[in-house]
Structures are given as structure tokens and as C-alpha cells.
Amino acid sequence: MHFKFIRIIAKQEWLSIFRIKTPLALYSVLLALMLLATFTGWQYVNTFNKQQAQAREEVHDHWMNQPNRHPHRVAHYGYLVFREKSPLSFFDFGLDSYVGNSVFLEAHRQNTVNMSEAGFSNGMLRFGQLSMASVFQLLIPLFIIFIGFQTIAGLKQNGVLKILLCQRASYYDILIGKTLGLAAVSWALFLPLLFTALIGGVFLLNGNITPQTGLNIGILLFSYGLYLFIISMMVVAVSALSSSGANSLVVSVLIWILCFVIIPKGAQTLGNYLFQAPDKIAFEHSIEEEISKEGDSHNPDDPHFAELKNKTLKKYGVDSVQNLPVNYGALVMQEGENISSGIFNRHFDQLIKTYKAQNSIATILGFLDPYLAMRNVSMSISGVDFETFSEFQKQTEHYRFNKTKNLNEIHLTQIDYKNDRDQKVGQSNWQQMAEFSFKPFSLSQTMKNSLWGFISLILWTLSGFFVLQYISTLRKYQL
């Protein structure tokens, strides 16, 4: 490998691309789309954050201003929590539009996350939304195809390739040089814009950039830079294997359709077929059925709670629940909460495993399709992936359980069992409870979630070098 010749060929490719007007015209269209996507994404997230902050404040005020009440009534009064947008959600929408934004928390019941944008929109949402990530993942590869389909095929047609091969440059040097020149053009045109949009968007939304967000931005820049290099290698490889520029363009577009349309849709369909998940009604029915078998707190003859009663009486050395030093009704309620929460968590974990199995199809196919690998990495780093959403659901259930447990503790110690329903406790008891705050994944956990996507991109890069090396040994494609 002669680095001098590679540098000369890459520079020549750079100059030849900017010498014609078509790439600049295409870039102008993409630039307009990216600016539009950035502005609409930022405006949407900014409006969403303001509305959510207002709703969160209103819910909190209602909770804090409740009058003196029975603690069990407070538990059923419930509390509404909201799913926060990640700092980079304006760049990559991911699953945000398809999963819920809020969940109502109450005693004895685990509610799912509701109020998704998809539930309030028409069928056009199924075609996807314009985000800056979608422009980078789908449209910029088309740009690279249209400016690079003649990189090698054009040299064959005008006879320049034979002249270059007669000099000291090897065919492999030419392929690598063309790839670097093509990638350098895409890097120069798009990565500075990506960096500016990410930094500016996060700062305008949050007023600052945390160290973790800054690292996430750096990882996104590196990932998309690697992605554009992979696409450039693919385009050069196809051009080298084609006899003419027309054939190269047709094949490249067909590969784009396969990798960016057919395989992603097929991965989703195949995942749903191989790993079928229960619908919401079946999921809730299975939980209710298991709870009724485990122990029904509303049934006075239930064996589980009859045993609980006997153990409690024996523990305190009394012969009647009226003589207990604590409120037996609160014990029953907390035991019912323990049962329902444990069963829900088991079923929910199983449901998450099913969804992850469905998503694993796309992860595996990422080794055959760089778009799927890049999409998974981008969603994970931007905090809009399935793992982040399921973590939100888990944290809300943990918060709901602890809040209900605290209220049951108040019921247990401050309400007399003999005259239970007519008693109340002061509002200061629940005013001291902490608000819900979602804790996003750490950087290490985020990297772990996107590990297979990174491995796919690295393997695609290494494989690209081997493919170009192999093509350079095929004499019939050097003419």
C-alpha cells in the first residue's frame, strides 16, 4: 500500500466531485431537509417539555394540596408521572412517538404508559417522521451513491484506470484512495453540520451540556462518521465490480432499497412472527388470574390471607384483629400489594424478554445491513431506544410500590382498626414524599446496550477493506 498515491487519488476524487454542480445541488436539497428536520425536532421537543413541565407542576400541586384524608383514599387518589425527553431526542425520535408519555400510579394496580403521539395521530405516522437522524441514515447514503457511482466505473469507461495501473499505484491503492476521497467529501459536508446541530440543540433546550451528553455527542459523531465511510466503501466496491456507470448506479440503488427498506421491514415482521407477544388484554388477564390464585385480599375465606391472619395474631399474642396494636387492614392491603406487584414484575420481565427477542432479529441482521446497526446505535446513544423506555416503566413501578407502601405504613400506625373508615391523617404525611425522577442509563450502560451495533459497524469497516483487497486481485474487473 502506497500512502502517497492513496493521498493523491483521494485529493483528485475530492476535487472532481466539487468540480461539477450536481453534488452541490443535491447537497443544497439535503441541507434544507436537515435544517427543517433540526428545527421541527427542536421545536417539538421544546414545546413538549414546556407542556410536560406545566402538567407535572399541576399534578404536584393537586397532590400537595389534598385535604386531611384517610391514607388509603390518598393511595387510590393516585399520582401521574411523565416520561422525560432525553437531551438528544430532538435529533433522533426513535421510539418516542410510538410509546406512551405518562402513567397513572395508584394502589393495587399497575397501569401501562399511555398518551403516545401515535395514539393521537393519523395513519401517516407509520411512514415515519422526518428527523435529522433519518436524513443521515437514509438520504445521505443516496447522496453518496449519486456522487460516487462512477468512481471506478467511470475510470474504466474513459480508459484512465489502465493508465493509473501502468504507474506505480496498485488497484488496491486506487480503491482505497477513491473511498477516502468520497468519505472525506461526506465528512466535510455533513459532520460539521451534525456537530453544530447537536451542540446548539442541546444547549438551547437545556441551557447547558452535561459531560455525559457531551460524550454522547462525540460518540454519535464518530458513529455517523464510520457509517458514512462504510457507505462510501460499498459504493466504491459496487462501482469497481460494474462495467459501466449506469450499471453501478442501478445496482447501488437496488442495494439501497434492499438495505434501507426491505430488510428493516422484514426484520420487524420476522421478529413479531417468531416471538409473539400477548396483547394488552391478554397480558392483564393473565396477571389477574394469577393474583386470584395466589391470594385475594378481598375474599375473607382466602387461604393465603387466613394464614396471614393467624400468623399476625400469634406474633402479637392476641386472639382478635381488633386487639392488635397495629391496623390489620393495612397489613392485608400491603400483603395484597406485595402479591400483585411481584406477579406484575414477573410478567412484565417476561414481556420485556419477548420484545427484546423480537428486537434481536434486527440486531442480528445489522451484521448484514449497516443501516440497522447504525439505527440501533443512534437510538441507544440518543436515549430513545426500547431499553430506555422499559427502564422508565420499571422505575415508575418501583416508585409506585414504595409510595403505596409508605401510605400503608401510615395506615398501619396512625389509623385505629376499630373505627377505620371515619379517621383521617394530616396532609403533611404525603407532602413529605419525594417526587418521581427518572434516572437515565449511565454512559457505560448505554454503551453496553448498543454494543452489538458498534461491533457490527466495526466488522463492516474491516470487511470493507478485505472486500476491496479481494476485488483488487480480480483481473477481469481492472479493465
Q: Where are the domains of the chain?
A: 3-478
Q: Which runs of E-coded beta strand occur in 89-129?
A: 102-105
CA separation for the pair 29, 363 (Å, rounded): 32
With contact defined as beta carbons under 8 Å apart, do 344 and 354 qualify? no
Amino acid at 474: L
Model pLDDT, residue 155: 84
Retrieve residue 430's grid coordinates.
404525603
> Under DSSP, is residue 109 helix (H, G, I), strand (E, B) or coil?
strand
Q: Look at residues 330, 26, 221 and name the one whose alpha carbon lies nearest to residue 34.
A: 26
> Under DSSP, is residue 114 helix (H, G, I), strand (E, B) or coil?
strand
pLDDT in tens, 374-430: 999 999 999 999 999 899 989 999 999 999 999 989 988 888 887 778 888 888 888
CA separation for the pair 475, 162 (Å, rounded): 12
Q: At a CB cut-off of 8 Å and minimum separation 6, what does 130 contact?
A: 33, 36, 37, 40
DSSP, res 112: P
Q: Which residues pair with 80 in a beta bridge?
A: 104
Which residues of the chain carry a pLDDT beneath 70?
1, 114-128, 296-300, 475-479
Q: Which helix (H) or strand (E) holds 80?
A: strand 79-82
With contact defined as beta carbons under 8 Å apart, do 473 and 240 qualify? no
With contact defined as beta carbons under 8 Å apart, do 60 and 435 qualify? yes
CA separation for the pair 348, 354 (Å, rounded): 10
Model pLDDT, residue 370: 96
CA separation for the pair 371, 256 (Å, rounded): 10
Q: With 0-12 CB in 10 A as exposed, 13-18 as middle and 19+ as buried, what is 61?
A: exposed
Query: What's the alpha-carbon Rg for the chain, to the nearest Å?
Result: 30
Q: Look at residues 238, 237, 247 and name the one whose alpha carbon lies nearest to residue 175.
A: 237
| Longest pairwise C-alpha distance within the chain | 104
Model pLDDT, residue 198: 94
Q: What is the phi-psi region of residue 405: left when phi exceeds 0, alpha when psi lies from -120 to 50, beta otherwise?
A: alpha
